[in-house]
Chain A
Amino acid sequence: MSTQKKPLPLIRKVAGGLFAAVALCAPSNGAWGQTEDKVRIDGSTTVGPITKAFAEYYMRQHPDVNITVSESGSGNGAKSLVNGTCDAAAMSRFMKPQEFSAAVDKGVMPVAHVVAIDGIAIVVHPSNPMANLTVSQVRDIYAGKITNWSQVGGPDKKIVAISRDSNSGTFECFNNLVMQKEKIAGSTEYVGSNGAARQRVQSTPGAVGYVGLGFLDRTVKALSVDNVHPDPDSVTSGRYPVARPLYLFTDGYPELGSHLHAFVTLHLSRKGQEIIESLGFVPVTHYK
């Protein structure tokens, strides 16, 4: 990067002239129109339903607060937190060492809040007679070694493997827990979110996909993995092999009494637990 220290100074100047007016209108610290009462959330689509429901709930309690939720992927959430462009990053994986050190370099101290636990369910079309796959079978399917359901004792139908986009925490989690060292075959289709993955599976008879537990419904069929069915119990007890915690990361521990603090600890409240449960995730609390 240091090789291009003074790149086209003239262009810079013209740029300065051209957009000076604009820059004057909007001071870079964004002092204009900035409301005190706002919380910006960015990050994972998996945590999206939780953050959106929390935002909805919180804004109803505090109508003067504006909470924006961007669902642009876990990596993007981390980036936004490091750049100071969001207050809390929703992530479906833990921060990577590089991200962490980049944050520290920028004077940002990421603090993790575990919001909920999520299992990654392997789903197929409901007409598919399969009921169980082993982890290694799933791995072989996604690696392209198994291309037909008949190879795992199912009907003679081509397998359409559907994966989450590689920028998602769900993908990385699946990659670590299931694929391990194997690489996902090129013929795998990529979709942008859990909702899209489920939608593609429910409309494609030969499809297999993986979605967060919160996205399971009657339109798709979740397979047991290693004979363990994915449900809140098996996920909490750790029997289900493909599960991970979901995080909200903040810069330092949020100030007590701030809206951000209230937001990132909402999952610890009874209402928060209810929201998480009714969205199909596994809460970290046990109110009865």
Chain B
Amino acid sequence: MDLTSRKLVDRSFTGLGWFSILLMAAALVILLAPIVVRGLGAFVFKGTVEHRKLQFEVFGHGRAGAVDAETAEVTEARQPVYDMLAAFEAELESADFASRRKHAGPLRELKDHLRRLLGPLPAEDAPVLMREQYGQTRWDRAQMALNHLLLIETYDYSDPTQMGRKILTPRVEDFKGTSLEPLFAYVEDNASAMLKPRWTLYWRFLFDSSHDAHFFGGIWPELLGTIYLTLGAILFAVPLGVISAIYLVEYTEEGSRLVGLLRTCINTLAGVPSIVYGLFGLAFFINSLHVSQSKSVLAGALTLGILVLPFVIRSAEEAIRAVPQTYKEAALSLGVGKWRAITTVILPAALPGILTGTVISMGRAAGETAPIIFTAAVSVGQPLSFLQTFSEPTPALPWNIYNLCSEHEAVDEIRHVQYGMVFTLVMLVLLLNSGAILLRARITKRMRG
């Protein structure tokens, strides 16, 4: 090859390298973008009056006067709809059988859609499920409900050899020529007067407990469960890990058989698939040691602790190794014992490094799902007190993300909650990690300076 070609190949190879780096960054962006954008939607959204009513009645947030005034306003705006319905029903009473029959079905459907949009109709008993006691709390979902109210979605199956085509027909056609006809135009024009959408910052999403299978409220039980599990795992793993690291670095000679064996064990432990930890936690902590009767935060935290143990050991080892040998020599030459030298000189010097490893391990423990499926996680539960963690299971963010997006009965209706949970978990983990990165940056700076 001549020089130009070699140069060109070189350039293209460089390009390939850049391309792969960019692709990786793009993968991160593509992954995070929907999670961040739609996840923020759980916190910042256009809340309707129903949202404020629910917040006040269920959680006691907001001012009574304001909510009452707003409720009065929207009741006034909704009244014509209910009046029209009542008038139409009275009209049907006196109508002939054929038209009663013709309108009964569509009327029932229309009422269903109205209930879904605005909450229970005024004359009816309060429904027992909370999801039916309130109308749409979010404007985006309200608009979808409005669409379903205005348009009927049917499929054209005229050609049985093809998949059906979707056809949208205005629902008003079902009520052509009746007194209900103007209702649709009214609802369409006055939807925002009836629901009063307003930009809302719902930061309490993090701290509200959930209601009616996550239809309403926030994610506090899950968040708290994750915090308990993470802290428990760290409390278990860090002392054990740091002591092991001290032993491996300070009390053994590199290359001895014992160290080789210990290291092989720890390396193998680091490679064990997380689901195997879950099975092990079930078989060992619950079925053999009986740390709790069944799933509990304690059993889950111990399992997670074992999972992060090898990482804690490795990072602590690295941190201790990074302490300059001169520190130790200076301490020893002053006549202190080895153990004193370790606890008063080496460990303090290694502390930031150990902390970095701990924080990264926390992120890992917070995000792991497989080990807690059989040892700690349930889909519905109340926030636990500290003492309860010894015997009771808890919901936890990673498990409930799985549960809500693939086991919940209304997967689509609560997408915003799922995204909110994923967003919270990812942010929690990324915050912990960026904390670790900052910590490390400060250490390197100090070491250099």
Contact = CB atoms under 8 A, between A and B. Distances in A.
A85 B295 contact: yes
A191 B293 CA distance: 29
A129 B157 contact: yes
Contacts of B211: 56
Contacts, number: 161
B192 interface: no
15 contacts: A26-B390, A28-B289, A48-B409, A56-B130, A66-B392, A69-B379, A70-B393, A128-B164, A155-B160, A198-B411, A199-B411, A219-B412, A274-B128, A275-B129, A278-B129
Interface in A52-68: 52-53, 55-57, 59, 66-68
Given A33-B391, A69-B379, A85-B295, A218 B128 contact: no
Contact of B160 (A35, A80, A154, A193): A154
Contact of A70 (B162, B295, B298, B391): B295
Contacts of B412: 199, 202, 219
B407 A192 contact: yes
A28 B290 contact: yes
Given A19-B289, A26-B298, A32 B163 contact: no
Contacts of B148: 218
Given A52-B380, A70-B393, A195 B411 contact: yes
B307 to A, nearest CB: 16
Interface of A: 15, 19, 22-23, 25-26, 28-30, 32-35, 38, 40, 45, 48-49, 52-53, 55-57, 59, 66-71, 80, 83-86, 125-129, 150, 153-157, 191-196, 198-199, 202, 205, 214-215, 218-219, 271, 274-275, 278-279
Contact of B291 (A26, A71, A214): A26
Contacts of A56: 130, 211-213, 380
A278 to B, nearest CB: 5
B165 interface: yes
A193 B127 contact: no
A270 to B, nearest CB: 9
A19 B305 CA distance: 12
B163 A127 contact: yes
B328 interface: no
Contacts of A198: 411
B138 to A, nearest CB: 19
Nearest to B305: A22
Interface of B: 127-130, 132, 148, 153, 155, 157, 159-166, 211-213, 236, 289-296, 298, 302, 377-382, 385-393, 403, 406-412
Nearest to B381: A68
B387 A49 contact: no
A278 B211 CA distance: 16
A59 B382 contact: yes
Q: Which of A23, A70, A199, A275 has the most chain B CB atoms closer than 10 A to its own CB?
A: A70
A186 to B, nearest CB: 21
A192 B379 CA distance: 14
Given A193-B408, A195-B406, A33 B388 contact: yes
Given A30-B293, A33-B390, A195 B164 contact: no
Nearest to B383: A66
Contacts of B160: 129, 153-155
A33 B161 contact: no
Given A22-B302, A127-B165, A68 B392 contact: yes
Nearest to B236: A22
Given A23-B289, A193-B408, A278-B128, A127 B166 contact: yes
Contacts of A35: 388
Contacts of B386: 33
B390 A69 contact: no
Contacts of B391: 26, 30, 32-34
Given A66-B382, A84-B293, A126 B408 contact: no
Given A26-B292, A275-B128, A69 B409 contact: no
Contact of A53 (B213, B295, B379): B213
Nearest to A45: B407
A155 B163 CA distance: 6
A67 B182 CA distance: 48
B406 A192 contact: yes
A153 B132 CA distance: 40
Given A19-B289, A30-B390, A48-B409, A278 B378 contact: no
A40 B294 contact: yes
A207 B292 CA distance: 43
A37 B183 CA distance: 50
Given A28-B290, A154-B160, A195 B409 contact: yes
B291 A23 contact: yes
Contacts of B163: 125, 127-129, 155, 157, 205
A88 to B, nearest CB: 13
A238 B390 CA distance: 47
A155 B381 contact: no
